[in-house]
Structures are given as C-alpha cells and as structure tokens.
Structure 1
Amino acid sequence: MLKTSYPEQFFLYLRSQPNASASTIRAYRRDLRYLTEFLQKEYPRIDWPEVNHLMLRQFLAAETERHLNSNTLTRRLAAIRSFWRYLHRQGLVKANPTKFIRVPRRQKSTPHFFVYPQVQKFLEIARAIGRNDFLSRRNAAIFELIYSAGLRIEEAVRLNVGDVDLLGEFVRVLGKGNKIRTVPIGRIASQAIAEYQKFRRQLLASRQQPETAALFLNKNGTRISQRGVRKIFHQIVQRMGVKEKISPHSLRHSFATHLLERGCDLRSVQEMLGHKSLVTTQVYTHLLPEKLKKIYEKAHPRA
C-alpha cells in the first residue's frame, strides 16, 4: 500500500526551496493526487519503491484518454519526475522509473486576449460591480493595475502598500521563483490605486484594525485571496456577455499584445512580464501578423 508520508515529505522539501512558487506546489500536489488515486485503484498492494515505468506509462495513457492536452500531461510528468528524483536522492527508492518516459510535445496554444474596447468595458464593470464604495474602488484598482503592469493574479494579491510608488509610477513585483522586477504603471492605474487607498484606510479605521502591509484587502480587512480575485473576474466576464471560457490571465495577455501592437520591442515586454526566456514572450508575435507585416514593409529595403 502506498505510503502517504512520501508525498508529504516531498511537499515539505519543495516548500523549503527558495525558488518554488506556491502555484507550482499546488499543481504538483494535484498531479500526484491523480497518480496516487490511479495506483491505489489499479495496484492496491503496491508501494512507491515497486512502481515501475510501465505503470507510469499506463497512468499517462489513462490521462490522455481523459482528453487532457499535452501541456497538462507535460506538467503531470514534471511533477512525477521531480517526486522520484527526490525519493531517489533520499534513498527511499532504488531506481528512478521516470528516466524511461518521454515527455509529450507541448502544444503551442495562442493566448486569449481582449481587444482594447473590451478592456475598457471590463474595467468599467469592475468599478460598478462592488456592493459599496470600498469594494468598487478596490476592484477597479486591482484590475487597472493587473492590466497596466501585466501582473499575474498571485503577484497582484501578494503586493504590499510599500511595493507601489505612485509618485514615480512604478510597482515592485515578486514574481515566479521569488524574482523581483520593477514595472512601470500608467497614470489611470495610479489614480485608481490612490483613490482606493482612501477607502482602504477608512475600512481599517471603521473596523478598528491596525494598519496592515497588504495592499489589496477583502471586506474583513485582511489580504484578498487569489480565489477572491478570480471570482470577481468571472463575474465581470459574465456581465460582459462573453461565452467562451476565459482565464484572468487574459488581462496579462492583453497587456503584452497591446504593447506589441503599439510598437513596444519584444525584449522590453519580456522584462515587464518577468519571462525567463524570450521564447515564452514570442508567442504574442503570432497574434500580430498584420502589425508585423507593416513593420516589415516599412523596414525591409526590398519589401
């Protein structure tokens, strides 16, 4: 029978690593839960040292039959490989069966983004959706900032008051791998944050709570959660009448796409997004064939 202590030891180890993000750990926990459930069903008497590469291939095949895309399967395998490397280093297993499994080729998906009129409508609804002045100003400030600086949801909710320089119009962001980057923010986002901070102070005073470092608060005066922001995002999208399934990451995609549309160079967009590799940022160039064609015709001597 599978020892539940092995995965828990692995997650304790991950949390101790300086470059392990909370979102990656959550995803890996989910991936290993699926593997555990599969092995307990198919091989109820087996323990982790007895798992071989054929069993892992069988699991990945079962996941493929669930019509998961190759990107999800790639992450599943990354989690499993990381888990077995840990077990092997700790001497808990004699062999690493993941060495014999090939990584599926990742699909190149085109990120969804809003055209600018949609962004305007989104931000108008964000301001109107709150039940009181505090919530409406907070919603406007969060999403204005996410779009203005291209932030991930987890980066936005992690912000402290001291991370935002409204005078200089910059925000200090703690990104993936605990890497810090400084991103400019626009005038409208700065104004939205300044307006929100007045109501933020009023909320804390009315609840007789001391000042807190967290920039974005919930109605109880504590740091808003990622789940809370995602819930608001989907409420706004629903009011917009958008039918397709859209992630909050769409605002970040929109940030990058709109900058490139207006002539910003790819390297600068890479730095602002906090991408480690330029290849990751290049996905946005596939969204702009007409823009690239105009640049080509203007720049190439024989166009």
Structure 2
Amino acid sequence: MNFYKDWLMYLDYLQIEKNASKSTIVAYEKDLAHFFRFLRSENLDSLAAVNYAIIRTYLTTLHEQGLATKSINRHISTLRTFYNFLVREQTVIENPFVHLHLPKTSYTIPEFLYQAEIEKLFDSIDRSSKLGKRNAALLEVLYGTGIRVSECVQIKLDQIDFDLQTILVLGKGNKERYVPFGEFARNSLQLYINESRSELVTAKSQPQNFLFLNARGNPLTSRGVRLIINKQVNEAALTLHIHPHKIRHSFATHLLDNGADLRAVQELLGHSHLSSTQIYTHVSKDRLRKVYQTAHPRAKR
C-alpha cells in the first residue's frame, strides 16, 4: 500500500508546473493525507480501486467528522485535481471524482469596518515612537491597498515606487501585480522608512531589505501583524474583533460603496475569479437595505 510515490510526484507537479504557493501545497498535502488514512481504514491498497461507492463512503465520513460544506468541497476538489494528475500520468484509467456533484457552498457575507471605526483605529496610533511610525505605515498599507497580510510581510524596499505610488506585490501562486497606494500611505511609509526603520535594525538582526521589521529588526511575520492590530484595537477602545482580513474586506467594501468598478476591485485584490469579488457587492446591498428599512418612513409599519 504505497500511495506516497504518487503523492510526492503530485506535490512536485504543484510546485514546479503549477507554481502553487507554499500554503496551497500544504493544504493539498493535508487533504491527501486525510484521504490516504481513510483508504487504509477501508483496507484499500490501490488508488485505481477508488470508485463512486467508495467516494460516497468518504463523503459520509467527512460529514460524520463535522466538516462544513465548504471544507468538504475543498477536500473533494483536491482529490479531483489529484486524480486528473494520475490520469495524465497513466497511473489510473479514469477520474472517479469527475462526475461527483456537490452542494453549492453558502457564502458568508464578509465582516468589515465602518469608516468611523477605521478612523478611530488610525487615530489611536502613537506616531511619535519608532514602532508607532511602523504601525501607522503598516495599517495604512493594509487598508490603502487591500493586500493580504502574507503579501504585506513579503514587501521589500525596492518594490515600492513612490513616484507612481505603486507597490509590486507577490500574490497567490507567485503571481505579481502592482497595487496603488494613496497620500496617507505614502506619507506614513516615507516617515517610517526615513525616521524609524533604520532604528529598528540592529547588529544581530537580518532585515534582508524587507519593508516591515519587528522590534528586534527582523522581518515582521503574519503573526506579528495580528498582534499589532490587536494592540491597536485595544488602544482605540474598540469593542470589536478585528483580524487583518477584515481590513481587506473593508478596503473592498468601501471602494464598491463609493462607486468603484467591480473588475477594478478584482484586479486590486488579486482575485483570479470575479465570483470571489462579487461577494462584496452583497455587503453593499445589505447595507443599502438596512439604511432603507431604517430611514424610509413607509418602509415598515
């Protein structure tokens, strides 16, 4: 029962041919490991032996483990693409997952911050300290560009163009895109770079030209960003749970609320599919409906 040769070949394929990101490969690896454990529990020793009946049993197992529909769909999507690869490599004759129809995932409307909450968050930053200057620049970049935290912590100094006010960002699947930033972000970035960043660098640190550094002078991590945001939320006395992605949601929502084109927002967010961006239009429609219900004299009795 040796699935691991095909498993390793597939992971190499994702990395080399598909140029998948590290996080994507890790997610696929976990899904496949979960499936292989199931096959062992069913005493199956061949990937070619998997048929529709076995897949239905696996779906039942996933449901019994309490996985949400979205997670189950992700598992099956991983296995469908894995078997496509096996068919290409002539390891199996056909893909047993290709005719499997799954229920549509119900999308949760993303949470966002109102403009007043964003302003309160920014006003809480002590911009007189070196870490305060960094925090201001960090939050201005996150909200001003809508980039992911994983993209933000990878920014290097030579990827910023202050003349054009753009940042070259490396997104999912190692896809590059340019994102613009505004006056607030530019001013905060220049203040941080010119007056604060060099103070964070120490003899023992390894900044490696990364834009955002931690208190020890090393590149800031995604976890570090979350801690900074939590700290600023506490200092702003906001009774909210704010995660970095909520700032990205706010960026998209505020753009659409103010008339931005959906395709342009898709490009700015780095979404491969427009459907990923369209979820933010539901936020705007929901807000409009609530405003109407509250404000119009004949909206309700």
| Normalised TM-score (structure 1) | 0.81
- Hey, what does 1:202 align to over in structure 2? 199
| Whole-Å separation in 2 of the counterparts to 1:4 and 1:122 | 49
User: 76-85 vs 230-239, which deviates more?
Assistant: 230-239
Superposed CA offset, 1:206-250 (max 9, x none): 32667623212234433323333234445555673325xx64211
- From 264, 281, 287, the equivalent of 2:277 is 281
- Hey, what does 1:65 align to over in structure 2? 64
Q: Confirm whether residue 163 of structure 1 aligns to residue 162 of structure 2.
A: no
Task: Quote the offset at 1:163 in angstroms.
Answer: 1.4
| Residue pair 1:261, 1:291 contacting (<8 A) in 2 also | no
Map 1:249-288 → 2, pairs under 5 A? 249-288=245-284
| Residue pair 2:3, 2:36 contacting (<8 A) in 1 also | no
| Whole-Å separation in 2 of the counterparts to 1:29 and 1:238 | 37
- From 172, 182, 186, the equivalent of 1:190 is 186
Unaligned 5+ runs, structure 1: 294-303
Give the count of matched residue pairs: 286
| Whole-Å separation in 2 of the counterparts to 1:236 and 1:265 | 31
| Whole-Å separation in 1 of the counterparts to 2:106 and 2:81 | 22
Q: Confirm whether residue 242 of structure 1 aligns to residue 240 of structure 2.
A: yes
Look up the equivalent residue of 2:54 and give its one-letter code.
M
Q: Confirm whether residue 216 of structure 1 aligns to residue 212 of structure 2.
A: yes
Tell me: CA distance 1:3–1:264, structure 2 relative to 1, closer, same or farther (3 Å): closer
| Residue pair 1:28, 1:79 contacting (<8 A) in 2 also | yes
Name the SS of the counterpart of 1:215 in structure 2. Answer: coil
Tell me: CA distance 1:186–1:221, structure 2 relative to 1, closer, same or farther (3 Å): same
| Whole-Å separation in 1 of the counterparts to 2:215 and 2:9 | 36
Name the SS of the counterpart of 1:78 in structure 2. Answer: helix
Tell me: CA distance 1:33–1:76, structure 2 relative to 1, closer, same or farther (3 Å): same
Superposed CA offset, 1:150-194 (max 9, x none): 111121122111111234322222223333322221222122222
Map 1:87-106 → 2, pairs under 5 A? 87-106=86-105
| Whole-Å separation in 1 of the counterparts to 2:74 and 2:230 | 25
Unaligned 5+ runs, structure 2: 290-301
| Residue pair 1:57, 1:101 contacting (<8 A) in 2 also | no
Q: Confirm whether residue 138 of structure 1 aligns to residue 123 of structure 2.
A: no
- Hey, what does 1:298 align to over in structure 2? none
Tell me: CA distance 1:230–1:22, structure 2 relative to 1, closer, same or farther (3 Å): farther
| Whole-Å separation in 1 of the counterparts to 2:153 and 2:210 | 8
- Hey, what does 1:229 align to over in structure 2? 225
| Normalised TM-score (structure 2) | 0.81
- Hey, what does 1:300 align to over in structure 2? none
User: 98-107 vs 71-80, which deviates more?
Assistant: 98-107
Give % identity: 35
Superposition RMSD in Å: 2.9
- Hey, what does 1:13 align to over in structure 2? 13
- Hey, what does 1:31 align to over in structure 2? 31
- From 145, 151, 164, the equivalent of 1:149 is 145
| Whole-Å separation in 2 of the counterparts to 1:51 and 1:31 | 16
| Whole-Å separation in 1 of the counterparts to 2:188 and 2:63 | 45
| Whole-Å separation in 2 of the counterparts to 1:158 and 1:78 | 29
| Residue pair 1:153, 1:226 contacting (<8 A) in 2 also | yes
| Residue pair 1:21, 1:178 contacting (<8 A) in 2 also | yes
